Amino acid sequence: MLTGVMTRHAFFSAADTAHRIAARNLSPLSAITIDIDDFKRINDSHGHAGGDLVLKTFGKTLRQCARNSDIVGRIGGEEFVMVLPDTALEGAIHLGQKILAATAGTRVENEGGLISFSVSIGAAEIIHAEKTSLEQLLRQSDQALYAAKHMGKNTVSTLPAKLQQQSEPA
C-alpha cells in the first residue's frame, strides 16, 4: 500500500501468468530488478518516515514509467521488480534508463530537508520462456543488479551474453 505497486505475493502471481503467456505465444519476456542505492543511509539520516517517503515517491515514479502491461512489484525493503511482457532486452534497458532519468531529478521533501536518491537496475531477457523458468529470469536480472552495484551504482546493467547463456538450459 505504501508504494502503490504490487505486493510480493501479488507480483509473483501476475508474473507467473505473464511467463506462461510468453511461453505459449513464444514471445520475449524481460525483467528488471531495481534497488534504491544506499537506502540504509537514507533511513539512518532521515528516519524511517523519510525512507517511507522515498519508497512512496519511487513507487509513483515506477508506475509513471511502466506500461499498462508491465508488472510492477516491491519484493523486499527497497527492492522492486518489473516483468515486461513482449519486451526484448533492449526494451528493458530503455525502460531502466528512463527510470534512472526520472529518478535523477527527484528530491523528496522531508522534515530534515530534501532527500535525493539514486537506483541501480539489472535487466535480463528470456527468449524461450517455454524452456526457461520465471525464477531463472529473475535470478538473471538480480545478478545484473549486483553487477550494476559493482559498477558504482546509479546505472543499468545486464549480464554478459556468456553468463546469460549459461543460465539457460541447452
DSSP state of 139: H
Distance CA 43, CA 78 (A): 11
Residue among 78, 125, 135, 168 flagged as catalytic:
78
* 126 and 132 Cβ atoms separated by less than 8 Å: yes
Q: Torsion angle, CA of 8/143/163/157, rounded to 10 degrees?
A: 110
* 113 and 149 Cβ atoms separated by less than 8 Å: no
125 part of the active site: no
* Residues labelled as active-site residues: 78
